Amino acid sequence: MRELAKIFVAVGTQSVGGGTSTLFLLRRFLVEREARISEREFTEAWALCQLSPGIHLVALAGLLGQRVAGWRGVLVAVSGMMVPAGIITAVMTAAYGVIADQPLAHAALAGMAPATGGMTLGLAIVLVRGARRHGPRAVVDIGLVIIAFAVLLLTTISSVAVIVTAATVGAVFLGRERPTSPEGASE
Amino acid sequence: MDPLALFGVLLKDSALALGGLGSLPLLRQDLVATGVVTDTQLVEALAIGRLSTGPNGLWIVSLGYQLAGPLGAAMALVASSLPPLVILPATAVARRWLLSVPFAGLVRGAALATAGLLCATGASLILPAGDAPSWWQVAVGIAAAALTYQGRLHPAVVVIGGAAIGLVLAR
């Protein structure tokens, strides 16, 4: 159990920048280096966790921890990955708070704001690439994206209502192929 | 905002989102539109989330810290960690149903709607309403979108690059 904790703490503290690097380190430690999980088990867990709500990597950590050591493994894996990383994030936020009112911080923020906006936009396009079907049916899928986009920008309808409605429409009309791509879900 | 109410919002929006950034449009609607946080705080949290370690869904820990200090960070950590774990009992009880056509369609519909909401949120962070951005900010936004789509550059580099350009052009 201690070894499992070490692996997930290492993943949580060494993967900078989110999804892809976290996934890379999980695979390296659990499949390649320690051989605690087979390639097939890892791939299957990754496919299943894309169906979970919220942060898919938390679901992946839970599934892998469970595979290795049952429910105690879930607790160790998820807390090992999330708690140290959460503490680092909180400390960074506190440190930024000290300098947030400085003119230099304002200038940096003027560049970071469009950068984070652009990254959000780019991620959304990756998500569409992974979730849409191919051929003529892609028109329906992209239409759903455009409707959600317009609803948020042009109306006061709740985002929750948009997601619940789209999920219902999807359950009735949009099945048949894999729902999301690995790269889209890795965030 | 009352800590319990804040935890409820963070938990609800994490549970209804797909992916670490999927909660962004929901939290923006619940917290920015109601004046609890500003778009600036949201951007700071997103940037710190990209620069920090772990899944980038941890940006809500930064947001929680800004709202309520260490307690807010802890609440955000718990709120973002619990919803994904629903997959554990779900795979144990209903693995076959999770792999069914209707469920695949349900996830696809939610993913497409999330993408549309993220597009709108990203666009409005680049072009905030009532506040005309500079040409270079629009260029930074477009470049960041292209680099993220390509996926070749580390996300932290994109954030630091944006900050560096800001330091040069916004002073």
List pLDDT tens digits, range A72-120: 999 999 999 999 999 999 999 999 999 989 999 989 988 988 998 898 8
Instruction: Quote the DSSP letter at residue B84.
Output: G
Q: What is the mean pLDDT of residues B60-69?
A: 95
What type of residue is B6?
Answer: L
pLDDT band at A178 (very low <50, low <70, confident <90, very high): low
Q: B interface mutation test: which of A41, A141, A159, A181 has the most B CBs within 10 A?
A: A159
Q: What is the SS3 assignment for A16? A: strand
Instruction: Pick the range with the lowest mean pLDDT from A81-85, A113-117, B86-90, B125-129.
Output: B125-129
- For A93, the token pair is 């936020």
Strands (E), chain B: none
Residue B130 near residue A72, CB atoms below 8 Å: no
Q: How many CB pairs under 8 A join A and B?
A: 445
Res A126: pLDDT: 84
DSSP lists the bridge partners of residue A54 as B18
Q: What is the pTM of this model?
A: 0.82
Q: Which amino acid would we find at residue B50?
A: R
Decide if pLDDT at A183 tops 70: no
CB contact under 8 A, B86 and A63: no
- Chain A contact present for B93, CB below 8 A: no
* Mean pLDDT computed over B78-87: 95
- Count each helix (H run) and each strand (E run) in chain A, helices first: 8, 0
Instruction: Look over chain A and give the mean of its residue pLDDT values, rounded to a whole number.
Output: 84
CB-based contact A85:B53 (threshold 8 Å): yes
Q: Which residue does chain A place closest to B79, by CA atoms?
A: A54
